[in-house]
Structure 1
């Protein structure tokens, strides 16, 4: 099964468990990029469409692209007035110089070639346009990693090392290397607060019928984050960076 097919299969559960969690990141990018009415904005890897909905609320001309048909369907339910298409970083299905801003949240790391992906983003940006990239920060800053690491250990696997884009300075470096002028970079706190054991398990395992051993591992690893009311609070961090193409400043 391809990655796109896998994401399509879990699109509905992903939207339920994680769609609103990235809202603090969306707000930061909206503000840093000064997105307002009539801004033309493309969300690459738009997922289930929550950022697109926020763009529409600001009156922006919103467009989104995702390789997973299931995610595209979810996005169209949430942001039906946006121009949402199936596609990927390899070839964004819009003409040159179509957008004032290209944004991507938790998606650039899935590009086959990061440099080529950023070149393609530049192609669809207007002169002076902005690119905004955000993704999970290094594991030590994310309490969610305690659960992911426990699952890996239980499966006999090693927790994969942080990729360059998750580390301090990683996003800034990749934008500068791609020829963008750095505008701003920083971190955003992201809280995940599943209401109970069921919500926790569904959010982590994204499976309607998880294996009992996986359930046990998740619940044990999440125990330090359990509240008295039976819910959970896990504090996490995203990194972001914004770059500008050459041309007149917006």
Structure 2
């Protein structure tokens, strides 16, 4: 997590986020869109839209997307990328849209950041039409992610233990939560997601985005050494990770 203002931790790193991570989760978009039956004309809200890559993809598919993100710089970049999309600042727990405004809601690598997940799902239900669908996706457990090798090395360098998997990262976590609050789960699964870096500089900046220059200089050798087994003959890096996804239908009120 970037070490910036607690009220807006992402705006100052939004440009680097878009450069290194913006389209990272693309492989999970297709099962979400297919299962949620998102196509031409579908009104879709992308919560935690970041720098707008999914919004742009939805526009290209003929959908009618809108976005929301708590970071003003993310909103600015998303508006520039997905020209014409209605992108607003806001939080998952208090979405700035009318009741029944959308037929589908997506949250990719965002739902786990909601402070009150049950309230977030209640808000999702509020802004969806009857029969509307929600699609959630996020990181699977650490053992499925090559990036964990680097994160574990960084934790060891700080004499810390790597963080434990949260409940939404493990099998059944997302589906159990959705069923607990009354959503009808339609389908879900795990998708491999590759993260690539062209060279050492991109590897280090992508992993350590948001850190100050001295910290990056200190930790760069740790990152490069930990990633050695993922380096290709041309000098680039390819790390295979995994995202869990689930699509569910809004409960009847």
TM-score, length of structure 2 as denominator length:
0.94
User: How far apart in 1 are the matches of 2:111 and 2:21?
Assistant: 18
The answer for the alignment partner of 1:219 in structure 2 is 224
User: How far apart in 1 are the matches of 2:78 and 2:240?
Assistant: 26
The reply on whether 1:49 has 2:35 as its aligned counterpart is no
User: What is the DSSP-based 3-state SS (H/G/I as helix, E as strand, rest coil) of the residue aligned with 1:6?
Assistant: coil
User: How far apart in 1 are the matches of 2:100 and 2:7?
Assistant: 27
User: What is the DSSP-based 3-state SS (H/G/I as helix, E as strand, rest coil) of the residue aligned with 1:242?
Assistant: strand
The answer for the alignment partner of 1:69 in structure 2 is 72
User: How far apart in 2 are the matches of 1:3 and 1:99?
Assistant: 31
Does the 8 A contact of 2:196 with 2:238 survive in 1? yes
Uncovered stretches (5+) of structure 1, i.e. residues with no partner: none
Does the 8 A contact of 1:4 with 1:69 survive in 2? no
Deviates more, 1:65-74 or 1:200-209: 200-209
The answer for the alignment partner of 2:101 in structure 1 is 98
Give, in angstroms, the shift of residue 190 of structure 1. 0.3
From 162, 165, 168, the equivalent of 2:165 is: 162
User: How far apart in 1 are the matches of 2:12 and 2:158?
Assistant: 22
Deviates more, 1:204-213 or 1:102-111: 204-213
From 144, 147, 159, the equivalent of 1:141 is: 144
Task: Classify 1:220/1:234 alpha carbon distance in 2 versus 1 (closer, same or farther; 3 Å).
Answer: same
The answer for the alignment partner of 1:240 in structure 2 is 245
User: How far apart in 2 are the matches of 1:153 and 1:197?
Assistant: 21
The answer for the alignment partner of 1:200 in structure 2 is 203
From 6, 24, 27, the equivalent of 1:24 is: 27
Does the 8 A contact of 2:47 with 2:106 survive in 1? yes
The reply on whether 1:35 has 2:38 as its aligned counterpart is yes
Give, in angstroms, the shift of residue 211 of structure 1. 3.1
Deviates more, 1:200-209 or 1:71-80: 200-209
Does the 8 A contact of 2:208 with 2:216 survive in 1? no
Deviation string 1:82-117 (CA, Å, 9 cap, x unpaired) is 100000012100111111001000111111111111
User: What is the DSSP-based 3-state SS (H/G/I as helix, E as strand, rest coil) of the residue aligned with 1:166?
Assistant: coil
Uncovered stretches (5+) of structure 2, i.e. residues with no partner: none
User: How far apart in 2 are the matches of 1:2 and 1:133?
Assistant: 27
User: How far apart in 2 are the matches of 1:67 and 1:165?
Assistant: 21
Does the 8 A contact of 1:5 with 1:68 survive in 2? yes
User: How far apart in 1 are the matches of 2:83 and 2:204?
Assistant: 30
TM-score, length of structure 1 as denominator length:
0.95
